[in-house]
Amino acid sequence: MFQAFNSERPPQPRTSATGVARDTTTDQVTVGLVGCIFAVSGPTAIMLAVGNQAGLAHGELASWLFGAFFINGLISLIMCCIYRQPLVFLWSIPGIVLVGPALEHMSFAEVLGAYYAAGAAMLILGLSGWVRRIMDAIPLPIVMGMVAGVFLQFGLDWIKAFTTAPVIAISMTAAFFATTAIPAINNRVPPLIVAIAIGALCVASFGDGPDMAEMSLMLATPVFQVPAFSWQAILELVVPLMITVLAAQNSQGITVLTVAGHRPPINTITFVCGIGSLVTATVGTVSTCLTGPLNAILSGGGTAREGQYTAALIACIGAILFGLFAPFFTSLMLATPIEFLATLAGIALLNVLRGAFTAAFRGDFAMGGLIAFMFTVSDISLFNIGSPFWGLMFGFATSWILERHDFEAHRPRASS
């Protein structure tokens, strides 16, 4: 079946409960929890901000979160078990940013119609096998330049936290580095757990944390939406949505997993993004994508590569629970100081960011990688398409003009 549809075969033997138990370690659980906290914090705030600006009702916002985390969490859980690697699918942040301006001059039903059209197109591309050929044709240093540009913002937000909330940022950072530097402690307690504990203690001590008495444990109720198809919405949104998912989001996740030693199933990933986009559109959620930063955390936490899928399983379970209890967890995360989340994300992505810079600038295609990095960091948007896509395009064009000799060395990878 996998070969018939250009999908990659999963490893054998199949994943078993015994194998999951064997591969799960304290470090993997820690990385999974950190990844989950990262996934449900900042991205949730972006989604809520766009929804509120568009005037959506509270029930529709909760339905967005249900699709984004519960449905995508289930899809991710299945994929991680099948392929035994971190393959976490969530929703496209650039995609939701595209939706905000579109809702100012078209109905939500028309936007949903564009979701369905983009999902169907990605499904067809995944079945065709074209996406793997396109990804293989783009040199890895150029993609890593784009990835470095995306992840740099997380590092900068961590540094900025030192000025806006110095007690939280300094305490968490000092705890992380001190634990990492002392092997006797590092071998017993994951540094990220120590940083989280110290950060939570600071938040509680200074009264900046959420008021648990005002929160109720409510289940999310999905609101099923009826789409309306219009040429205006399809022409304005479908191509940008596909580009942000495939060229901006998926390429990040695929690249960080490849650098970590995994072999991500590119065609299957594209196919799953199409299926996920069609399913989540029923409850109003933007297109599904392979998340880059989260999979980077899960595969870059210094844990054994063979067991990193168990960290992803922890993150998936957390995402599923977050989707089920979206009203409660959203209130909890939005009440947590943003500096706590920024510091946690920054230190968790340090190794990944270092690896991205090294892969982008250490050898061939260095100029293309630099241009990709600079365009991505600029955060420009042309034709409603975000900067990561333009980073890839201009980086590739630069290498094609100035580094043609590097493509000769790159040719065997493109034909493999």
At residue 97, the pLDDT reads 67
Residues 6 or more apart whose CB falls under 8 angstroms from that of 224 comprise 282, 283
**Residue-averaged pLDDT of the chain:** 83
Tell me the pLDDT tens digit for each residue of 178-196.
Answer: 988 888 777 777 787 788 8
Residue 407 burial by CB count (10 A; 0-12/13-18/19+): exposed, middle or buried?
Answer: middle
Confidence of residue 129 (pLDDT cuts 50, 70, 90): confident
Tell me the pLDDT tens digit for each residue of 267-326.
Answer: 899 999 999 999 999 998 888 999 888 898 898 766 788 889 999 999 999 999 989 987
Question: Between residues 343 and 86, which one has the greater pLDDT?
Answer: 86
At residue 368, the pLDDT reads 92
Mean per-residue pLDDT for 383-401?
84
Inform me whether the pLDDT recorded for 215 exceeds 70. no
The rounded percent of the chain whose pLDDT value lies above 70 is 88
- Nearest Cα neighbor of 103 from 56, 144, 147 is 56
At residue 414, the pLDDT reads 40
Give the SS3 label for residue 15: coil
Tell me the pLDDT tens digit for each residue of 27-54.
Answer: 899 889 888 887 876 667 667 666 766 6
At residue 209, the pLDDT reads 56
DSSP state of 56: -
Mean per-residue pLDDT for 106-123?
90
Residues 6 or more apart whose CB falls under 8 angstroms from that of 405 comprise none
Beta-carbon count within 10 A of 409 CB: 12
Confidence of residue 388 (pLDDT cuts 50, 70, 90): confident
Tell me the pLDDT tens digit for each residue of 85-108.
Answer: 999 999 877 777 677 667 777 888
Which of 9-18, 68-77, 223-232, 335-344 tops mean pLDDT?
68-77
DSSP state of 305: G
Read off the pTM.
0.75
At residue 2, the pLDDT reads 47
Inform me whether the pLDDT recorded for 415 exceeds 50. no
Confidence of residue 330 (pLDDT cuts 50, 70, 90): low
Inform me whether the pLDDT recorded for 1 exceeds 50. no
At residue 126, the pLDDT reads 85
Confidence of residue 416 (pLDDT cuts 50, 70, 90): very low
CA 237 to CA 115: how far, in whole Å?
Answer: 8
CA 37 to CA 25: how far, in whole Å?
Answer: 19
Residue type, 238: V
Report how far apart, in Å, the C-alpha atoms of 250 and of each of 33, 190, 242, 287, 291 are: 22, 29, 10, 12, 7
Mean per-residue pLDDT for 322-349?
78
Longest dimension (CA), the chain: 64
Tell me the pLDDT tens digit for each residue of 297-314.
Answer: 898 766 788 889 999 999
Question: Between residues 41 and 131, which one has the greater pLDDT?
Answer: 131
At residue 125, the pLDDT reads 86
Mean per-residue pLDDT for 133-148?
80
Phi then psi for residue 365, to 5 deg, are 60, 25
| Rama region for 7: left / alpha / beta (φ>0; ψ in -120 to 50; rest) | beta
State both tokens at 147: 């990835």
CA 72 to CA 289: how far, in whole Å?
Answer: 9
Weakest-pLDDT range from 42-46, 246-250, 373-377: 42-46
On whether the CB atoms of residues 256 and 397 are closer than 8 A, the answer is no
